[in-house]
Chains A and B, each alone.
Chain A
Amino acid sequence: MFTALLTFKKNVDTTLTDGSSFNASMQTSPASMINQYKFEEDADTKDIFVTVDNPESHVTAIETYITYRVMTKTTRSEFDSSEFEVRRRYQDFLWLKGRLEEAHPTLIAHPLPEKFVVKGMVERFNEDFIETRRRALHRFLNKIAEHPIFSSSEDFKIFLTAASGELTSHKKQGPGFLSRMGDTVKAVAAAVRGVRNRPQEFTEMQEYVEAFSQKISSLDKVTQRIVREQKEYLEELKECGPTYALWSQSEEELAEPLKNVAGCVDRCCKETEEQVKNLSDHLIPVLHEYVLCADTLKAVLRRRDNIQADFEAKTEALATKKADRDTMRNDLDKAEDRLEWANNALKSDWTRWQKVMRTDLRSAFVDTAERNVSYYEKCLAVWESFLHSQRTDAEGNGKVDFS
């Protein structure tokens, strides 16, 4: 699929009608490009490793913000060195995502964590929030690095390697304000026009995305509800142990078994607490990201539709208008090429995305199931040790005759 795209690129004017251009340096040797596109075989030969960690707070006169350390280790030849360490803030990630989407409107980028937490007044600089965001940013960059096309983006490279000053000046490049305005107007016009002959496969994709979005949102909600119920259960359970302990103080013979039971209940409480944390730390973020993914997919389909609408409009214009036929023919050809490119890109990336989604969700659920098994195994051990102690106690006291 991607090799076809490659040939395509060579024949087409690389300037897109929306004013952005492919950076020439993105096109390196064909051989290395082909390597990057064969993502399936790349699983074991990953040549770039990115981590996001070490959040730090920065205070200036105007604002306070957090930066994260982004470390890159790579053997790719287009990188000047094999290790890089830079600091980036959330805004920088937003910029990167925007650039990637501009350059490839119908490729599917992994979502970024949201700007704010909608529910409640969570302090932006709250530890849990920062940690959750850090993990999501880490996953975002890794998904970009794993994407055959995004990972060879020049913007991505600069994001990973440039010093802060360099990045700022690079950000200032790119299409000017006026041309971006022009793009927006065109996009709105296209959206308003609507697409007439959407190919069936894209309609099916849209239907799927609708349904998927609903299901994954439900799963997110169900999981959050489970966490809430478990937290409430934990609150009640925390009072049981102390009650048994209190009781043991009034008893003689029963003091030991009661204290023992109190200890067991307390240990089960700890395990339950950990289990709740696991759900919150592992399953919920993944589900949440796929809720955001569904939104991304909807946006991608919309952008594709707009590109098609634009082509359809130009086709109509050529058929009806008499003046400027040469220019219009030229524009139409470009629009056609853009449409074909967009469709092919989407189709391939769709397949890739489905595989990744399947892997991610499968491993998240398998992981959750494993943790649940482990939780029950630990609690089982706690109660079995109690039984064991009661048995040996009974034998030791000589009270019971196991004849």
Chain B
Amino acid sequence: ATLQSTILKERAEIFDTDFQMSADANHQNIQEREREGGRMVEKGTSLLKKMEISVAEAEKRTGKNAVNMQETYTVYLIEMRPVDAASEGTNPVPDSLWRRYSEFELLRNYLLVTYPFLVVPPLPEKRAEFVWHKLSADNMDPDFVERRRVGLENFLLRVASHPDLSTDKIFYSFLTEENGWKETVFETGFQAKADSRLKALNATFRVKNPDKRFAEMKHYGDELQSVISQLLRVRARAADRLYGVYKVHGNYGRVFSEWSAIEKEMGDGLQSAGHHMDAYAASVDDILEEEEHYADQMKEYLFYADALRAVCRKHELTQYELEMAAQDLTSKKQQREELATGTIRTFSLKGVTSKLFGQETPEQREAKLKMLETQIEEGEELVKERNAECEEFVKSAWVDIERFKEQKDHDLREALISYAIMQISMCKKGIQVWNNAKECFSKM
């Protein structure tokens, strides 16, 4: 929270004022927006108008797991405060409950299955990736836990500020009902609704006419994921090296100090210059901590890319199912025609066997025709249904994709700006240290 407020303050100084995005007329969903640490978080939802949500703390717990073994895990405290309380000046005890990461995962999986046409906000990473040597990859490491806490809060705020997701009852009970929530989620039977991976993969390969925009979006999602991964990797390596450069300067401090002991006139200058070299070496820790914050912002969109692709894959699936139904209908209609006119246009085993073993009786043919008619009727209903589904999906998904695009453009631009501000701050510190050192050296 302090890092974010420093960046906000510095940005306010540079831009002279707070900025507010004006509403975009096309999107009635998008109303008043505020920046929260540089991220676009809509405060327009009714949920956020009433309640302030935060993930305030993290704690270690031990307990028995599913196979009755002792395990240590971390729980996070979710707090809900009524919005008016802050303005009234009263400070009532917030509603709060503890949740662990796996429960957040369950919530998200539920949302993914229930709202496949929405770009569902991502969770912070399960395991630390793209670490540079000083950062721990250990899930129990306090720095990792802290960054995860921030990421989980961000997730909740993203969901709470989404016009559709914020109204979900399971989400609300996640925030309010500590016990029995898990059972409630399972009772929705959402797991049965989930598409099998195989089914989805099959659709991706076989769909014939996906909406061009979704195909492009999917491609964009692939590129975004690839390029952000590369950026995070390169950045982590550069951070490692930068750390080395700064820390070696600490050796100057030590040697200057030792050298000053044997000199008369040069002693004081050397000694004080040495202190500045120590300060320089130490300054890299803060610098890199701020950069982690930037990396986290990038990571969020790395994972968002996945959510985007999921929506596109779902479109492919619905489109494919429509195509399958339509294809099936066409073939049934063709069969009817053949049966009715007695001509065989398409090769069919029935056709061959009937030629070989004699044709069916008129009664058999009549029965068959009747069955086909029913099937065709059902098929037409199915096609209608699936067509409607598909259209509905395309409509709602595209609205959310447009919303996501705007959010992404805003957030990432803000992230780049805050990166620049960080670099400026680093340069200013460097200028100060070396000017101080120069003064000391000139007294040598």
Contacts and interface: CB of A to CB of B under 8 A. Distances in A.
A131 to B, nearest CB: 25
A41 interface: no
Contacts of B437: 365, 369
A366 B424 contact: no
A37 interface: no
Contacts of A372: 430, 434
B420 A387 contact: yes
A33 interface: no
Interface stretch (A17-25, A134-142, A152-160, A373-381): A373-381
Contacts, number: 158
Nearest to B427: A380
B contact residues, range = 35 or more
A217 to B, nearest CB: 10
A46 interface: no
B223 A391 contact: no
B255 interface: yes
A384 B424 contact: yes
A373 B255 contact: no
A390 interface: yes
B224 interface: yes
A261 B249 contact: no
A272 B204 CA distance: 47
Contact of B435 (A208, A369, A399): A369
Contacts of B227: 243, 246-247, 250
A218 interface: yes
A236 B234 contact: yes
A389 to B, nearest CB: 10
A233 B249 CA distance: 15
Interface in B41-73: none
A264 interface: yes
Interface string A246-265: 11001101100110010010
Nearest to A245: B227
B19 interface: yes
Given A215-B262, A250-B224, A376-B431, A366 B438 contact: yes
Interface in A336-378: 358, 361-362, 365-366, 369-370, 372-373, 375-377
Contact of A369 (B21, B231, B423, B434): B434
Nearest to A207: B262
Contact of A370 (B228, B266, B273, B438): B438
A211 B260 CA distance: 11
Contacts of A235: 241
B416 A261 contact: yes
Contact of B252 (A222, A254, A264, A403): A222
A210 to B, nearest CB: 9
Contact of A383 (B245, B408, B420): B420
B444 A362 contact: yes
Interface centre among B220, B237, B240 (most CB of A within 10 A): B237
B343 interface: no
Interface centre among B227, B273, B435 (most CB of A within 10 A): B227
A218 B442 CA distance: 21
A236 B241 contact: yes
Nearest to A244: B231
Interface string B265-284: 11001000100000000000
B7 interface: no
Contact of B427 (A230, A233, A366, A376): A376
Contacts of B220: 250
Contacts of A399: 21-22
Contacts of B423: 268, 379, 383
B14 A400 contact: no
B91 interface: no
Given A366-B441, A383-B424, A387-B14, A254 B413 contact: yes
Interface string A56-96: 00000000000000000000000000000000000000000
Interface in B218-275: 220, 223-224, 227-228, 230-231, 234-235, 237-238, 240-242, 244-245, 248-249, 251-252, 255, 258-259, 262, 265-266, 269, 273
A402 interface: yes
29 contacts: A208-B262, A211-B262, A215-B258, A222-B252, A226-B249, A230-B245, A236-B240, A237-B238, A240-B231, A240-B235, A243-B227, A243-B234, A247-B224, A250-B220, A250-B224, A250-B227, A254-B412, A257-B416, A261-B420, A358-B266, A362-B441, A370-B434, A373-B430, A380-B428, A383-B420, A383-B424, A400-B19, A400-B20, A402-B15
Given A251-B409, A366-B438, 7 more contacts: A215-B259, A233-B244, A250-B220, A358-B266, A369-B434, A369-B438, A379-B427
A-B pairs with lowest CB-CB distance, top 3 = A369-B438, A233-B241, A376-B430
Interface of A: 208, 211-212, 215-216, 218-219, 222, 225-226, 229-230, 232-233, 235-237, 239-240, 243-244, 246-247, 250-251, 253-254, 257-258, 261, 264, 268, 358, 361-362, 365-366, 369-370, 372-373, 375-377, 379-380, 383-384, 386-387, 390-391, 394, 399-403
Interface of B: 14-17, 19-22, 220, 223-224, 227-228, 230-231, 234-235, 237-238, 240-242, 244-245, 248-249, 251-252, 255, 258-259, 262, 265-266, 269, 273, 408-409, 412-413, 416-417, 419-421, 423-424, 427-428, 430-431, 434-435, 437-438, 441-442, 444
